[in-house]
Amino acid sequence: MTITSPFGQPFGDPLGLPLGQPDVRTPALTPVSDPVLEIRNLSVDYGYDGDPVHVLRQVSLTLERGEVLGLAGESGCGKSTLAYAATRLLPPPGLITGGEVLFTDRDGTTTDILRLNDAQLRASRWQDLAIVFQGAMNSLNPVFRVGRQIADGIRAHRPEVSQKEALERSAELLELVGISPDRLRSYPHQLSGGMRQRVMIAMALALDPQVLIMDEPTTALDVVMQRQIVEQIADLRDRLGFSVIFITHDVSLLIEIADRIAIMYAGEIVEDAAARDVYQRPRHPYSSALLHSFPPLRGPRRELTGIPGSPPDLSKLGGGCPFRDRCAFAFDACSKVNPELVFPDVPGDDPRRSVACLRHDPAAVRAVGEQPLPVPPELSAR
Amino acid sequence: MRFFLRRFMFYVITFWAAVTINFLIPRLLPGDPVSALIAKNQGRISPDATEALRALFGLDQDVSLWQQYLDYWGLILHGELGISFTYFPTPVTEVIQQALPWTIGLVGIATIISFTIGTLIGTGIGWRRGTWADSLLPISTFFSSVPYFWLALIAISLFSVTLGWFPASGSYDRSLIPTWSWEFVGSVIYYGFLPAMTIVISSIAGWILGMRNMMVTVSSEDYVTVAQAKGLSERAVMFGYAARNAVLPQVSSFALSLGFIVGGTLVMEIVFSYQGIGYFLFTAVAAKDYPLMQGIFLVITLAVLFANIVADFVYGVLDPRTRQEG
């Protein structure tokens, strides 16, 4: 079944990876690790008082060069906080309490973004790492023309470029995202939501950044526009070779665009694996539950289950696994020890994937004197 | 173009309404200008002159209200505002011409200073909220909540009476001849300093508070975060993105306050005996001087209307969204 969009482009299946079919995307997971951005043990608290809420707890994430890394999870799990913290744009009362964000330039030099001084940070922003924000509607300054807003980012980093040259470059960028260059003279309110988001993408590409963080770039748009934008991002990635961290709560969208997917839950990464693996062979109960909460359009029928309960109150997390109260596979040890990311206890799995579940970590279970339970068949699909 | 035509029609209708109300209100006041004039001259005018005065002021004819209204319009359109009862026989236009520059000069400049400084301070405080600068807010708010006449009297007693730095009243040294000489202009500035300062001190809190709050609101807008993420300089983000949007409501209140300059300075002009338009309005009301009163009201109305037109225009320039038609 192929549905055709009003724009004549065939709709892909949001879950267009039926079992057994070869993945058409170029595999980005090269055997040799060449990370462009490494987030290590990043922790963020909200609140300055004596009782802050730990919103991100020791999050580590690696973005390989040229890769599209999807970051998925429920609302409030800390996805956006991760993006803001990694770029040091976290608004008060957010506070980065520890960790490193290592950026590796094309020439191999590595800098820790969290330890740059203000001037270095300003120089690094947009040049190395650009962001497309969630609110396409409000991301553009309403009183300046679109062209000026693209150009001022260019000129802030390249003072030798004249305004005219910067505007010419802006026109090229607009063409790159499929907007007519005469729109340079438009004000944001004269553009539709989809066009504004494209302008934001064009703006983000202005300085040819190596990393693009996209924080729910399509959430405010309808599905047709979502598809166009996502395809455009994938296309631009192929042409320009930047790496993307794509943040969304829409797992079905991620399966299409991402090379690798990291699933977040309650401020922690619970599973990190290639997109196909997450979709077909989830190892964490939460990933599995997420995948069973929306219907596949193709392939075998699956039972829709949803996830019982609601996300935990981050200010009241004790020890133990934060997902245990909603987990069908929880056992005694889950309330005693918070699982760490380990290689899944399933023979033959991709060695680069990891999961934070005690079912896969018998050593941690034994360490607290409990009896380990085997990995249930639901979490060890081949 | 349709936009400006519609605005223009709006102002024409407003003008008509203002003039009509302006015509009616003094006629609703009780009392009689001739007896007020006689009482004011304390017996120097014989009561026998009453009839003559009534004839002179045009009060002897029994003209219908409607006819008066039509005559009033005819005279206004010819720039004729009648003869003042109090400053008899000076025409109202001449009285206003004498008074208006003083008010506009003094209060206009004070308002511009207050707006500029207040908006700049508000920008700074709003941008770095939570620092020591926030303590400026309660101080300035204190001065604006003190009744103005009291603040002005304290200023006079402190700076004029006790310290003797500034004159307590008047608008220039009476021994000088009003010309465009440095000496005279200097004297005007010297006399105007204290009233201007009290106006600035009492009004600046509003500008600071308004701008600060808008800055706080706008600073959390996505486009400010985007500007930060683009690596623009702090100045560029603060002025080009945050303040540029935060100032929009300030501009409309500024234009409105320009309109109120002409009428809103009554207390200042009385306390400092400054011969501006407010001072004349006060004497006109006290003396039932209908022509002068109406003339001043008309000028105030025109000033407010003019300020509104300016606000509309400036706002259109500053905010592209308001330029949209429909």
Does residue B220 surpass a pLDDT of 90?
no
pLDDT at B264: 64
Question: Which of A37-51, B53-67, B165-179 has the largest mean confidence?
Answer: A37-51
Q: Exposed, middle or buried, A95 (CB in 10 Å: 0-12/13-18/19+)?
A: middle
Per-chain mean pLDDT for chain B: 82
Give the percent of chain B with pLDDT over 70: 91
Contacts of B63 (CB under 8 A, 6+ apart): B71
Burial A266-305 (b: 16+ CB within 10 A, else e): bbbbbbbbbbbbbbbbbbbbbbbbbbbeeebeeeeeeeee
A37-258 carries CATH number 3.40.50.300: yes
Task: Nearest chain B residue to A140 by CA: give it.
Answer: B223
Q: Does B197 touch chain A (CB under 8 A)?
A: no
Q: Does B235 touch chain A (CB under 8 A)?
A: no
Nearest to B229 among A131, A143, A189 (CB): A131
Contact B309, B11 (CB under 8 A): yes
How much is the ipTM here? Answer: 0.79
> In chain A, what residues touch B237 (CB-CB under 8 Å)?
none
Nearest to A125 among B229, B318, B320 (CB): B229
For chains A and B, what is the number of CB pairs under 8 angstroms?
78
Q: Does B325 touch chain A (CB under 8 A)?
A: no
Q: Which letter does DSSP use for residue A91 in this model?
A: P
> In chain A, what residues touch B233 (CB-CB under 8 Å)?
122, 156
Q: pLDDT category, B101, cuts 50, 70, 90?
A: confident
Which CATH number is associated with domain B92-323?
1.10.3720.10
Interchain proximity B230–A156, CB inside 8 Å: yes
Q: Which strand (E) or helix (H) includes residue B148?
A: helix B148-155
Does residue A5 surpass a pLDDT of 60?
no
Phi, psi of B231, deg, nearest 5: 80, 25
Interfacial B residues in 239-258 facing A (CB < 8 Å):
240-241, 244-245, 248
> In chain B, what residues touch A134 (CB-CB under 8 Å)?
222
Does residue A24 surpass a pLDDT of 50?
no
Interchain proximity A156–B220, CB inside 8 Å: no
Interchain proximity B227–A125, CB inside 8 Å: no
> In chain A, what residues touch B220 (CB-CB under 8 Å)?
91
Q: Does A124 touch chain B (CB under 8 A)?
A: yes
Q: Output the six-digit token pair for A150.
A: 């693209």
Contact A71, A81 (CB under 8 A): no
Rounded to whole angstroms, the Cα distance separating B254 from B308 reads 10
pLDDT at A37: 92
Does residue A13 surpass a pLDDT of 60?
no
Mean pLDDT of B290-317: 82
pLDDT at A32: 65
Give the other-Cβ count within 10 Å of A221's Cβ.
19
CA of A233, closest CA in chain B: separation in Å?
Answer: 19
Q: Where are the domains of chain B?
A: 92-323
Per residue in A125-181, pLDDT (tens digit) is 988 899 888 766 788 998 999 999 999 989 999 989 899 999 999 999 999 888 999
Mean pLDDT of A354-365: 89
Q: Give the neighbor-by-neighbor strand order of the sheet with A211-215.
A: A129-132, A211-215, A243-248, A68-72, A260-265, A268-274, A354-355
> In chain B, what residues touch A123 (CB-CB under 8 Å)?
231
Contact A146, A196 (CB under 8 A): no
Mean pLDDT of A306-331: 83
Q: Give the neighbor-by-neighbor strand order of the sheet with A94-104.
A: A53-64, A35-46, A94-104, A110-112
Contact B54, B60 (CB under 8 A): yes
Query: Can you say whether residue B231 is alpha, beta or left, with left for phi > 0 and alpha for psi between -120 and 50 degrees?
Result: left
Interchain proximity A142–B321, CB inside 8 Å: yes
Contact A298, A288 (CB under 8 A): no
pLDDT at B116: 94
Interfacial A residues in 103-122 facing B (CB < 8 Å):
121-122
The string of DSSP letters for B44-91 reads SS-TTHHHHHHHHTT-SS---HHHHHHHHHHHHHTT---B-STTTTSB
Nearest to A138 among B222, B229, B244 (CB): B222
Interchain proximity A125–B226, CB inside 8 Å: no
Interfacial A residues in 35-94 facing B (CB < 8 Å):
87, 89, 91
pLDDT at B214: 92
Mean pLDDT of B43-52: 73
Q: Does B131 touch chain A (CB under 8 A)?
A: no
Q: Where are the domains of chain A?
A: 37-258, 268-379
Q: Output the six-digit token pair for A268.
A: 């922690």
Give the percent of chain B with pLDDT over 90: 11
> Whose CA is closest to A199, among A254, A255, A161, A153?
A153
> In chain B, what residues touch A135 (CB-CB under 8 Å)?
222
Mean pLDDT of A323-343: 87
**Range scoring the smallest mean pLDDT among A268-272, B168-172, B317-321:** B168-172
Question: Which of A26-35, A249-258, B76-85, B287-296 has the largest mean confidence?
Answer: A249-258
Interchain proximity A127–B231, CB inside 8 Å: yes
Per the model's pLDDT, the better-predicted residue between A60 and A226 turns out to be A60
Q: Which letter does DSSP use for residue B242 in this model?
A: I
Q: Does B146 touch chain A (CB under 8 A)?
A: no
Q: Does A162 touch chain B (CB under 8 A)?
A: no
